[in-house]
Chain A
Amino acid sequence: MTESKDQRMLPKTGLFVDTEPFWKGTERGELMLQYCADTQQFQMFPRPVSMYTGRRELEWRAVSGRGTIYACTIVRVPAPNLDASRLPLSLVTVELEEGVRILGNILERDPESVAIGQRVELAWDPISDEVRYPAFKVVED
């Protein structure tokens, strides 16, 4: 682990529901989300049941990672477990092409120039030498 990453908190995984497919996906470079086959809809965050049916018939499927910024802010204030070197941090809600929203960070761009309606694609944010987390990049037109 490099020194600059020491302060990034590694997520505690699988405590809420089994999220192994999500984390295995990050290793392969795929964004894996929970999918309700009955209603053919994704849900984010992963849940113990389908939020559409209340049933446990859930699977995991890869999404494109392409979408549009639905809401955006710039986090400017440090918090416990939020590394101050990440500030100002571009935080957005992305509406993915698959019809589901996900919270994420926009990488490699001045947070001031991030705006609602911009198209984004999947990017990877290294949390440590071993772990990376899904993030987004603005697609330049």
Chain B
Amino acid sequence: MPEPNIVIAGYAETPIAFKSGRSAYDFGGEAFASLLAATGVEKGRVDGLSVTAPLSECANPFFAVYVVEALGLSPTWLNYGAIGGCSATGGVARAAAAIRDGQCSVAVVLSADAPSTYWGPRYGGFRFEFQDPVGLMSPPAAFGLLMSRYEYQFGLSFEALGKIAVTQRAGALLNENALERFKKPLTMEKYLESRMIADPLRLLDCVMFCDGGNAFLVTSEKTAKELGIEKTVRPTAYAEVTNFNGNQACPDITETGFSEVAPKVWGQSGLSPGDIGCFQPYDDFTIAVMMQLEDFGFCPRGQGSDYVLDTDLSYQGEVPTNTGGGQLSAGQPGLASGGLNLAEAVRQMFGEAGERQVAKTGSALVTGIGVIPYGRNWGTSTAMVLEA
């Protein structure tokens, strides 16, 4: 059996909303219907589905099956992605493998969440005894710890983090799907004045939980042609690791899973940082963007501050980064978060980014980050290279 070339043959994204009063099902349905409309694919052709586990509905272990029923599908392949912000890129990679294995031929990777409307998680586990009592209740505290260690080992310019926030905000102003309340220019002064949440982490270093959804059509190049779809991008490299350094009691927490993932995706694609048309790194916090610029070799490890200060990260710049505002400035649609970065990459490569369109549409690098572990950096790291 010849190996089919896999493509992402369409994307859809809902506007981001805060306390929308709507459910993950409803946002998922909106993204799904938009995807069908954008691609012209009949619902009956969809025989594979990857669903992201959302914060708002995670109490239901059968959420993915409920989504199938809500959408009126009968898939022969169903995946429930529970690697947090890595579930979208991870879902595309898993769908590609399923298509190559013949388990389905036209898959939708669907992520939708509404945590600002309804909060569902009960993390349980060790957290009751060993994390909650010390006041580590939320990702910002974990990233405050991580930032403190990064600052101690390498030095950290808050103007550099501020530049990431300010530049991404400028992108959000040109993004029709960005949260309305974020559609105001951000200045460095305003960033530096924003209150400390978990020192040295400021409010404007953080994402805000919102509601929203996104969807991607994954199929083979051949099937896409049969379906009459002209715009496609190829995922030419993917790598993932969960619980990096997980068998070490005292790892260097400034060393992330991307240090393992990055060489793999560069090796698989044969590309290097200078080739990339746009970089869409998972951005739950500004420091994560900086650390990924280092891990993917845009600059040496520990030199992220100087690099960011010296580099134009805007859509017109040398390394267009999170060109639609990212999650930081478009709003984080719960655990549909990773799909926001992926949608922007595909949109840019399709040449559909309007006023914020980048010049180089031949490739993009998209990443995911998932889950906050005990005393480390983050749980899952994923990266995907897309090529035209």
Contacts and interface: CB of A to CB of B under 8 A. Distances in A.
B145 A73 contact: yes
A11 B132 contact: yes
B124 A42 contact: no
Given A16-B124, A70-B149, A93 B375 contact: yes
A127 B195 CA distance: 29
A7 interface: no
> Range of interface residues on chain A?
35 or more
Given A15-B124, A45-B130, A91 B145 contact: yes
Given A71-B149, A76-B197, A89 B135 contact: yes
A75 B145 contact: no
Contacts of A19: 129
Contact of A11 (B125, B133, B137, B138): B133
A99 B124 CA distance: 26
Contacts of B148: 71-73, 116
B60 to A, nearest CB: 21
A105 B135 contact: yes
Given A15-B129, A70-B250, A135-B134, 19 more contacts: A11-B129, A12-B128, A12-B129, A16-B125, A19-B129, A44-B374, A45-B126, A45-B129, A45-B130, A45-B131, A46-B130, A52-B247, A73-B148, A75-B198, A77-B138, A91-B198, A103-B130, A103-B374, A116-B149
26 contacts: A9-B132, A12-B128, A15-B128, A15-B129, A19-B129, A22-B129, A41-B249, A43-B249, A44-B374, A47-B126, A72-B148, A73-B145, A73-B148, A75-B136, A75-B198, A77-B138, A77-B140, A77-B198, A82-B132, A82-B135, A86-B135, A93-B145, A100-B250, A104-B134, A105-B134, A117-B152
Interface of B: 124-126, 128-138, 140-141, 144-149, 152, 195-201, 246-247, 249-250, 253, 374-375
